[in-house]
Amino acid sequence: MPLIVINSPKGGVGKTTLAAHIAAILAKRGHPVLALDLDTQNSLRLHLGMSIRDEAGYANALDHQPRWQNAVVETPAGVRLLPFGGSEPRRVLEVEMALLNRPDLLTAPVREMLADPAQFVIVDTSPGPSPALTALTPLADLIVVVLLADIASAALIPPILSGQVYGRGTMSARSADRMVVLMNQVDLDAPVSAAVLESARNAFGPRLLGAVCWDNAVAEALVHRRLLTNGTGGAAEDLQLLVDSLTARTRQSAAAPDPDAGAFPALREWGLR
Ligand SMILES: Nc1ncnc2c1ncn2[C@@H]1O[C@H](COP(=O)(O)OP(=O)(O)OP(=O)(O)O)[C@@H](O)[C@H]1O
Ligand SMILES: [Mg+2]
């Protein structure tokens, strides 16, 4: 059931790397996991051990309403994956336009994916706003915003807090509590990096989900087509702690008592709640 969307206003911050690790660690812990690649770069498949020659996709054909069940691939990382698929630029734009006008092309199948209460659905997105992100935001249990512990990312903290990045107003307020921040590539030995982490901690408070240190082993693992799904110290340990936090937060939101339970009888009678 939990839908976890990985996003960032910034590119190259580790979204795909983290999405792959989160999915693979959850799978290794025995959870059923479905990973959904909505980034046109189609690179999540490579992190999960698929061949670069395998260009089959799901999201690149969303406007043709494919059956998602037929597009699922079993990856060597133990994660079931719906790859974006290889696409020409024009095709990418066609899919984006279709999603802008018909978000249900994505939300309807994702609702079916979420029907399995035990299954985690982990979504990798393109950097910045996208029709796919807009469509999925109302359904997401957590939107994990990845930032780097550097000055360029620090500059994004005020516009994230003010709502300039993820939206303002009543609708955005509804999802604000589901937005959490993850600081990646933290280097506590570098004063700037430590200072940016501290600023993020002050700015986001409990919405700071965790931090992953800068670790060459992350890039090395990809070279060897592996993921850091176990091990202590460095990024491997941070990734385990990150998945602990994620599972705790999703359990919390699933178990949170509905303060209005039993109220609004008319809405319940009409099948709206
Ligand atoms: N904790 C880390 N330590 C060291 N290197 C990292 C870490 N996290 C990610 N990287 C490296 O950062 C680079 C960018 O990662 P990745 O492609 O996952 O970013 P992205 O946000 O998905 O990029 P894009 O915006 O293009 O989709 C990769 O080379 C990856 O190996
Ligand atoms: Mg990426």
The minimum-distance atom of ligand 1 relative to the CA of 126 is: 27
List the domain range (segments joined by +) for residue 158. Answer: 3-269
CATH code, domain carrying 59: 3.40.50.300
pLDDT in tens, 259-273: 666 788 898 888 887
Q: Is the pLDDT of residue 255 over 70?
A: no
Top mutation candidate among 7, 123, 218, 240 for ligand 1, by most atoms within 8 Å of CB: 218
pLDDT in tens, 62-79: 999 999 999 999 999 999
Number of structural domains (the chain) is 1
**Residue 184: CB within 6 Å of ligand 1?**
yes
| Residue minimizing CA distance to atom 31 of ligand 1 | 219
Q: Which of 245, 252, 254 is CA-nearest to residue 18?
A: 245
- More confident site: 258 or 240: 240
Q: Specify whether the CB–CB gap between 156 and 9 falls below 8 A.
A: yes
What's the token pair of residue 159? Answer: 């516009």
Q: What is the mean pLDDT of the chain?
A: 93
The minimum-distance atom of ligand 1 relative to the CA of 10 is: 25
- More confident site: 173 or 58: 58
Q: Tell me the torsion sign for CA atoms 168, 174, 175, 178.
A: positive
Whole-prediction pTM: 0.93
Kindly state the DSSP code that residue 134 receives in the 8-state scheme.
H
- Kindly state the average pLDDT of the residues 241-268: 80
pLDDT in tens, 211-231: 999 999 999 999 998 999 998
Q: Is the pLDDT of residue 256 over 90?
A: no
Q: Specify whether the CB–CB gap between 155 and 17 falls below 8 A.
A: no
**Residue 41: CB within 6 Å of ligand 1?**
yes
**Residue 13: CB within 6 Å of ligand 1?**
yes
Q: Is the pLDDT of residue 23 over 80?
A: yes
